[in-house]
């Protein structure tokens, strides 16, 4: 489900995932490096390295972290990267020529990508924080950088990304609705195909086992006692196919037919517990049921597959004049027999 939603993220629609996303990340990293490099001549190496690291880290978070909108902890880290880079490239600046606030521009690009990752409000909060930081550098530190003008110029990329994100949101919703509608149609068609296949299978089985006897009855032929007994067993077998479709099979049908011919009352019930169960475990339940049916000569045998969510997968209750025996099969294959 998460993977399906990722296909309709805005960055996916803009080609910012996979190999194109890596190309975009390399371009963003190169831009950050080019804008930050001039500060190397004006601030200590540690501050320059810190500015590079926090901005490249923000770029990596934006391009590599999955999920839209971007998680809030990652959003806060991206928002904080811009002000930190601005301060790091101006604090303790040396020389007469003061460094230009070039770090603001890669920070604005990072905020633009943040807006495309679904955090428009967070991106504008980040822009406001950068503007305040520029004012601090301009007024408190006394470094004249034209903070107001730089803020306005740097926000152009964020404004463009915001408009793009707002325009494409209806497209995202439409694509999701179309995909959901297509998925529902595919599911409905698969269900209809499965129902048709089961109907054909049941009709084929009914035709194979009941057609000869039904034709004799339709022609008004007198049935012998043996044929009447066969009809009784056949009716019970067909009822088993309706009550326990996932339980019956050739092996269990033969065992149930044999037990009924010996006068044993057989009841097979399937409440859906076989859904998602391994084939080996299902075969184990059938093998235990066959063993009980083959051993019964009187009384009754009830085989029930329990509903999903129960502690046990199935129960087999064999009642005879000399006592009852209950077999419980757990969902991990354990077997408990009690008398």
Q: How confident is the model at residue 304 (pLDDT cuts 50, 70, 90)?
A: very high
230-243 pLDDT per residue, tens? 888 888 888 888 78
Euclidean distance between CA atoms 121 and 118, whole angstroms: 9
Indicate the number of domains in the chain: 2
253 SS3 class: helix
Structure tokens at 290: 């066959």
Residue 192 lies in a domain: no
Euclidean distance between CA atoms 102 and 39, whole angstroms: 8
- Residue 151 and residue 247 share a domain: no
Q: How far is CA 157 from CA 107, 150, 161, 164, in A?
A: 10, 13, 6, 11
Query: Using N-to-C axis directions, what is the helix angle for 120-135 and 104-116, rounded to 10°?
Result: 160
Residue 193 lies in a domain: no
Residue 73 lies in a domain: yes
Residue 266 lies in a domain: yes
Residue 37 lies in a domain: yes
Euclidean distance between CA atoms 76 and 261, whole angstroms: 76
- Residue 27 and residue 156 share a domain: yes
Element (H, E) at 315: strand 312-320
Answer yes or no: are the C-beta atoms of 266 and 260 closer than 8 Å: yes
Residue 210 lies in a domain: no
30-82 pLDDT per residue, tens? 988 888 888 777 788 899 899 999 999 999 998 888 878 889 999 999 999 99
Range(s) of the domain holding residue 256: 232-338
- Residue 258 and residue 109 share a domain: no
Picking from 151, 183, 215, the residue at the C-terminal end of a domain is 183
* Edge-to-edge strand ranges of the sheet holding 312-320: 265-270, 300-305, 312-320, 323-330, 335-338
- Residue 239 and residue 170 share a domain: no
Euclidean distance between CA atoms 161 and 111, whole angstroms: 9
Picking from 183, 216, 250, the residue at the C-terminal end of a domain is 183
- Residue 151 and residue 8 share a domain: yes
Residue 77 lies in a domain: yes
- Residue 270 and residue 157 share a domain: no
Q: How confident is the model at residue 119 (pLDDT cuts 50, 70, 90)?
A: very high
Euclidean distance between CA atoms 202 and 46, whole angstroms: 78
- Residue 282 and residue 167 share a domain: no
pLDDT at 198 over 90: no
Residue 142 lies in a domain: yes
Nearest to 127 by CA among 99, 97, 98, 147: 147
- Residue 152 and residue 18 share a domain: yes
Q: DSSP assignment, residue 38?
A: G
Picking from 150, 165, 183, the residue at the C-terminal end of a domain is 183
């Amino acid at each position: 489900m998460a993977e399906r939603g990722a296909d309709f993220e805005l960055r996916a629609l803009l080609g910012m995932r996979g190999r194109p996303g890596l190309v975009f990340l390399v371009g963003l990293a190169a831009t950050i490096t080019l804008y930050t490099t001039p500060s190397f001549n004006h601030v200590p190496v540690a501050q320059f390295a810190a500015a590079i690291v926090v901005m490249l880290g923000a770029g990596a978070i934006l391009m590599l972290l999955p999920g839209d909108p971007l998680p809030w902890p990652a959003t806060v880290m991206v928002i904080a990267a811009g002000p930190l880079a601005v301060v790091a490239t101006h604090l303790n600046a040396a020389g007469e020529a003061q460094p230009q606030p070039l770090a603001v521009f890669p920070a604005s690009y990072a905020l633009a990508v943040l807006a495309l990752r679904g955090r428009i409000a967070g991106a504008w909060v980040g822009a406001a924080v950068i503007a305040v930081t520029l004012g601090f550098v301009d007024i408190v530190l006394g470094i004249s950088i034209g903070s107001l003008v730089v803020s306005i110029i740097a926000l152009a990329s964020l404004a463009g990304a915001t408009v793009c994100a707002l325009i494409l949101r209806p497209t995202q919703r439409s694509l999701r609705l179309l995909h959901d509608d297509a998925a529902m149609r595919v599911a409905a068609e698969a269900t209809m195909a499965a129902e048709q296949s089961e109907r054909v299978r049941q009709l084929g089985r009914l035709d194979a086992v009941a057609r000869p006897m039904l034709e004799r009855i339709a022609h008004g032929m007198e049935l012998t006692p043996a044929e009447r007994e066969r009809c009784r067993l056949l009716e019970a077998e067909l009822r088993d196919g309706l009550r326990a479709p996932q339980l019956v099979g050739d092996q269990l049908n033969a065992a149930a037919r044999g037990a009924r011919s010996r006068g044993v009352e057989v009841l097979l019930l399937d409440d859906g517990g076989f859904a998602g169960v391994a084939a080996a475990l299902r075969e184990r339940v059938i093998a235990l049921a066959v063993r009980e049916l083959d051993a019964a000569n009187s009384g009754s045998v009830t085989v029930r597959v329990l509903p999903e969510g129960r502690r046990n997968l199935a129960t087999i209750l064999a009642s005879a004049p000399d006592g009852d025996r209950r077999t419980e099969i757990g969902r991990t294959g354990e077997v408990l027999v009690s008398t």
